[in-house]
Amino acid sequence: MKDILHAPFVEEMIDITANMYRLGWDERNGGNISVMLDPDEVAQYLDPDNVIRTIPTGFEAKPLIGKIFLVTGTGKYFRNIPKFPERDLGIIRIAPDGTTAELLWGYSDGGRFTSELPAHLMSHMSRLAVNPDNRVILHCHPTYTLAMNFVHPLEEKAFTHTLWEMCTECLVVFPDGVGVLPWMVCGNNEIGEATAEKMKQYRLVVWGMHGLYGAGKDIDEAFGLVETVEKAAQVYMLIGDRPRINTIRDEELVELGKAFGLDYRKDFLNL
Ligand code: 2HA
Ligand code: ZN
């Protein structure tokens, strides 16, 4: 068996969580990530028959039975993951009943997966139905996106449109736009179901006055989506109340869409 601590998927998780902490998006125990792993790759590092313990998930995830995920731990700080990966991360497999997680590695202090597991697994199901290559769901509290939530309408068309106006790259990076949920209590099945419903259409979902979810085929895609939204939100917040004397006009967004051959949300323009 190879050393799991040097598995590329563990190293990448350590790297991205450290990065997100440094960006200030994951204060204290804020944020959580789940990555679907390739069972053959996992078998190079772990005995798949060695289940350390089982943990109920609290909901049924039938389409994910047998799937294996690397998931950040509940109450754990991204800041500490590089020092304590085996304590603060875990690898779980969804058991044949669809409602139990089999722990294959990690959570070594008796811990468990993030309280947002329902939002993650339900979102995985939604994204996989649209894109069978989806592997990653990532949640964090990016500062400027959060700030923008307090001064901008929490409405999908308006929110997406403003972000598209802030950086030329935005339309190219998320032509599918950004889903928006109102403020809700987090950590339960209800917000999980609402997030997953949005994930049928969007790879990005704002949790009103809480944070942001990103999905992708790998960590680069999910993280890249989030950092692009955050950059646009930063520009928006830097402009503040100052009069805008220049802007990217909708006609120009149309030109951009044509030039890059984008399938974007045309109904999100004001033309
Ligand atoms: O895991 O970010 O939404 C801590 C959170 C809850
Ligand atoms: Zn959160």
How remote is the CA of residue 141 from the centroid of ligand 1, in Å? 8
Of 62, 89, 115, the domain-final residue: 115
- Are 101 and 171 within one domain? no
- Are 51 and 91 within one domain? yes
pLDDT of residue 48: 97
How remote is the CA of residue 258 from the centroid of ligand 1, in Å? 39
Of 115, 143, 158, the domain-final residue: 115
- Are 61 and 157 within one domain? no
- Are 136 and 243 within one domain? yes
- Residue 180's DSSP bridge partners are 206
Query: Which ligand is nearest to the Cα of residue 210, counting in written order?
Result: 2
- Are 128 and 247 within one domain? yes
The CA-based dihedral angle spanning residues 228, 232, 235, 236, taken in that order and rounded to the nearest 10 degrees: -160
Atom of ligand 1 nearest to the CA of 31: 2
CATH code, domain with 265: 3.40.225.10
Cα 151 to chain centroid distance, Å, stands at: 23
- Are 145 and 67 within one domain? no
Atom of ligand 1 nearest to the CA of 29: 4
Contacts of residue 68, defined as CB under 8 A and 6 or more positions apart, other chains included, come to: 36, 37, 39, 42, 91, 92, 93, 104
pLDDT of residue 141: 98
What is the 8-class DSSP label of residue 69?
E
27 is catalytic: no
Give the residue among 112, 135, 138 at the shortest CA–CA distance from 124.
135
Atom of ligand 1 nearest to the CA of 186: 3
Give the model confidence (pLDDT) of 223-271 as tens digits: 999 999 999 999 999 999 999 999 999 999 999 999 999 999 999 999 9
Going through the chain in order, the beta strands assigned E by DSSP cover 32-37, 53-56, 68-72, 89-94, 100-106, 136-140, 179-181, 204-207, 211-216
- Are 195 and 267 within one domain? yes
pLDDT of residue 117: 97
What is the 8-class DSSP label of residue 83?
T
Range of the domain at 82: 1-115
- Are 126 and 216 within one domain? yes
Give the model confidence (pLDDT) of 50-105 as tens digits: 999 999 999 999 999 999 999 999 999 999 999 999 999 999 999 999 999 999 99
- Are 98 and 69 within one domain? yes
According to DSSP, the β-strands at 89-94 and 100-106 are antiparallel
**Residue 72 Cβ < 6 Å to ligand 1:** no
How remote is the CA of residue 128 from the centroid of ligand 2, in Å? 22
Q: Rounded distance, CA 146 to CA 84, Å?
A: 29
pLDDT of residue 78: 98
Query: Which ligand is nearest to the Cα of residue 115, counting in written order?
Result: 1
How remote is the CA of residue 245 from the centroid of ligand 2, in Å? 36
**Residue 29 Cβ < 6 Å to ligand 1:** yes
Give the model confidence (pLDDT) of 118-162 as tens digits: 999 999 999 999 999 999 999 999 999 999 999 999 999 999 999
Give the model confidence (pLDDT) of 176-186 as tens digits: 999 999 999 99
Q: Which of 41, 60, 116, 252 is catalytic?
A: 116
Of 115, 148, 182, the domain-final residue: 115
For 26-34, what is the mean pLDDT? 98
pLDDT of residue 158: 98
- Are 78 and 127 within one domain? no
Query: Which ligand is nearest to the Cα of residue 71, counting in written order?
Result: 1
Atom of ligand 1 nearest to the CA of 140: 2
- Are 44 and 135 within one domain? no
Give the residue among 97, 80, 101, 78 at the shortest CA–CA distance from 32.
78
Residue 208 identity (one-letter amino acid) = G
pLDDT band at 22 (very low <50, low <70, confident <90, very high): very high
| Burial status of residue 158 (CB atoms within 10 A of its CB: 0-12, 13-18, 19 or more) | middle
pLDDT of residue 239: 98
Domain count for the chain, please give it.
2
Q: Rounded distance, CA 207 to CA 141, Å?
A: 9
pLDDT of residue 176: 98
How remote is the CA of residue 214 from the centroid of ligand 1, in Å? 14
3-state SS class at 15: helix
Phi, psi angle pair for 51, to nearest 5°: -90, 120
- Are 199 and 78 within one domain? no
**Residue 18 Cβ < 6 Å to ligand 1:** no
**234, 146 contact by CB (below 8 A):** no
